[in-house]
A and B are shown apart, each in its own frame.
Chain A
């Protein structure tokens, strides 16, 4: 039924998309299946694990539990938007160098939370990094090398 769909305009990584979505559709499903950017992952689908983290107007949001219609007119950044001209961002490079990637499933979400953190606070303390990544679960790394990568990226920035 056409009246079950709502028109949603999104700017994703600087590109404008016009979508027709069901009001119950999650932003995660819209990003993965309608926009076609599958870097953002579905983990718990319950607002707990952070695998689905995207930036909405620059702020980390769990896209699994945020309705696509709520994002109408807003600016989204996904993990695909971090590299520029084929080069990884400083944070992405630091994550690789520090060995902060194992299975990789949490990595896009980690990158989004850490990117927002460094944007807001270019020189975070270890404690501030831990708080900033508090909504992102990793079952492989034990977090140490992820935290180290954020510290490296922050130092590189200065």
Chain B
């Protein structure tokens, strides 16, 4: 049994190469061990004291979010709130203040839950994930990371060190909304994120939509781009996007919701996300998170 506190990425990567499991907040790792009854790993390495993993930095191409940036930091970071708002919406909905104080973006991404709130925003904003090992560093589109619930294409010796987001550009907006039965300590019943870029006339130049908790991984609604291009976001378009989202969903039925209910409501969430993203792109202020500021979900 061992626990090492890493002070540098190199130290963390070396420990992981030796079989240690990385721990940032521990909220997924420790709770999941309780649920499954499986013991915690024999060797762990704490990665929550590595300065370069704890910051949101501007890069030439956009921003780099260190893997151990917490949900509490994300929801309050001015750069994230202004330019990557859907991610702030999602971070602000995670768990409770205590969860958000220890939960990290890297933990979310590597835990690969199809119900993760931050996943759909990352997909629609074109995120790349940075994975580092003793052999080097590589980046992959976030959609290529997840293969199934709790399963990724990362090798066991790789550490997620950052999530990279491209610059959003002008006249853009994004939003994440979810269906929830209570306001705190909740997991998305279903959710949707939208990112929209408007043209000079106020019509959609580009739009992406991704869905939460309706498939084995976060999924993108590929039809959304062609469906929305050149059109103004109005009721008719929102209804069409809702239908496309419902069609893309492959939901399961479980104690939280039936499959048909999920299929219907994910369409509603997609249309609301599109509407909020377009309004933000048009300059309207909608506070973070959209669920609270527009009264979506539990009251």
Contacts and interface: CB of A to CB of B under 8 A. Distances in A.
B31 A135 contact: no
B26 A23 contact: no
Given A53-B98, A113-B98, A65 B1 contact: no
B184 interface: yes
Nearest to A6: B3
Contacts of A135: 95-99, 184-185
Given A45-B34, A60-B98, A61-B101, A69 B1 contact: no
A18 interface: no
Given A22-B1, A23-B1, A65-B31, A70 B98 contact: no
Interface SS of chain A: mixed
Interface residues of A, number: 34
Interface in B1-15: 1-3, 5
Contacts of B39: 24
Contacts of B99: 47, 62, 135
Given A22-B1, A47-B31, A134 B183 contact: yes
A48 B97 contact: no
A118 interface: no
A102 B25 CA distance: 32
B101 A60 contact: yes
Interface string B89-112: 000000111110110000000000
Given A23-B2, A134-B185, A67 B30 contact: yes
Interface in A1-55: 3-4, 6, 22-24, 26, 45-48, 50, 53
A66 B97 contact: no
B30 A66 contact: yes
A24 B41 CA distance: 9
A59 interface: yes
Contacts of B2: 3, 6, 23
B229 interface: no
Given A24-B40, A46-B31, A70-B26, A132 B98 contact: no
Interface string A88-127: 0000000000000000000000000100110000000001
Q: 8 closest pairs, A vs B, by CB?
A: A135-B96, A134-B184, A23-B3, A69-B3, A65-B30, A4-B1, A60-B98, A59-B101
Interface of A: 3-4, 6, 22-24, 26, 45-48, 50, 53, 56, 59-62, 65-67, 69-70, 72, 113, 116-117, 127, 130-132, 134-136
